[in-house]
Amino acid sequence: MVAAIGEARPHQLHWYLAELGTDPSARGLGFGAQLIRTRLAHCDDTGAPAYLEASEGNVAYYQRYGFTVTRPIPIPSGPTIYGMLRPPS
């Protein structure tokens, strides 16, 4: 799994958003949105793209913030996740 994820990462300099999420009891309250907006503002300030991996159910969520799918990443004996990249604005 680690090898598959590592091979999918961009080779260019980028910020890697490794762990983003909220507790299920806090979903829908805007905490996740605030978290990602502050990280993306930092990426924009430094002029570097942001990269993350998302489950299929979260692809549309990250697309709202300007991420596009770079490639699917099939995980052996697991689900497919999606590499997503957002250029700085």
Question: What is the distance between the terminal CA atoms of the chain, rounded to a whole angstrom?
Answer: 31
CATH code for the part of the protein at 2-86: 3.40.630.30
> What is the number of other CB atoms lying within 10 angstroms of the CB of residue 22?
15
Distance from C-alpha of 81 to C-alpha of 5, rounded to nearest angstrom: 9
Residue-range domain boundaries for the chain: 2-86
Residue 37's pLDDT is what? 95
- Rounded mean pLDDT of 71-87? 94
Asked if residue 20 has pLDDT above 90, the reply is no
Convert the pLDDT of each residue in 24-66 to its tens digit: 898 889 988 999 999 999 999 999 999 999 999 999 999 999 9
